Amino acid sequence: MAFELPALAYAPTALEPHIDARTMEIHHGKHHQAYVTNLNAALAGTDGEKLSIEEICKNISKYPMPVRNNGGGHYNHSLFWTLMAPNAGGNPTGDLAAAIDKAFGNLDEFKKQFATAAATRFGSGWAWLCVKEDKSLCVCSTPNQDNPLMDIAECKGTPILALDVWEHAYYLHYQNRRPDYVGAFWNVVNWNKVAELYKNAM
Ligand code: MN3
């Protein structure tokens, strides 16, 4: 079964003014669609067609580069869209909030480390909050469309929060001001979804 572009759960305008509608339309409808199309082409006629995107990522070293780039692109963006929501932001609560405090000291310190990971990723890539194998939380970043599920990743874990820092994610509105985009992201973070992913990973 071929991979498909997942629909957004909100209108492209819904995250304004933090993420503009034009960026959302192009990012979802053009960039993500291209990853899906190219992933399907790269897997056509192979056993990979029968696997989930998570299974492919976990064994990515066995696949050619187009699968790594486009498969990562499909997994990363599919997750990213669900981690944002209109009328979101605020603070995490419950077990997730306690885990963040335990790992980072407090929420502000977590945000600082995450923003640093996002800002210092040279070129294109992603910043992550992950649950590691020992069930603790960590912040890291990956280049290009790699992610922490991949067996080749330097930092491995189950992603529960992700931020796309490719220029295509912010350039129309923020131009070269990546830190401003990262700062605005906190206004649209869907902490309910992050908490759900945290629970599933535990
Ligand atoms: Mn992107």
pTM of the model: 0.96
**Centroid of ligand 1 to alpha carbon of 27 (angstroms):** 6
**Centroid of ligand 1 to alpha carbon of 90 (angstroms):** 24
Ion ligand 1 nearby residues (CB, 5 A): 164, 166, 169
C-alpha 195/C-alpha 193 separation (Å) is 5
**Centroid of ligand 1 to alpha carbon of 79 (angstroms):** 11
pLDDT tens-digit readout, 89-118: 889 999 999 999 999 999 999 999 999 999
Task: Quote the mean pLDDT of the chain.
Answer: 96
| Residues 6+ positions from 87 with CB-CB distance below 8 Å | none
Identify the burial level of 72 via C-beta atoms within 10 angstroms of its C-beta, where 0-12 means exposed, 13-18 middle and 19 or more buried: buried
**Centroid of ligand 1 to alpha carbon of 102 (angstroms):** 31
What are the phi and psi torsion angles at 3 (to 5°)?
Answer: -70, 150
- Does residue 138 have a pLDDT over 70? yes
Here the contacts of 149-156 (C-beta below 8 Å, separation 24 or greater) are: 149/54, 149/57, 149/58, 149/75, 150/57, 150/58, 150/60, 150/61, 150/68, 150/72, 151/58, 151/59, 151/60, 151/61, 152/60, 152/61, 152/68, 155/128, 155/130, 156/130, 156/132
**Centroid of ligand 1 to alpha carbon of 103 (angstroms):** 28
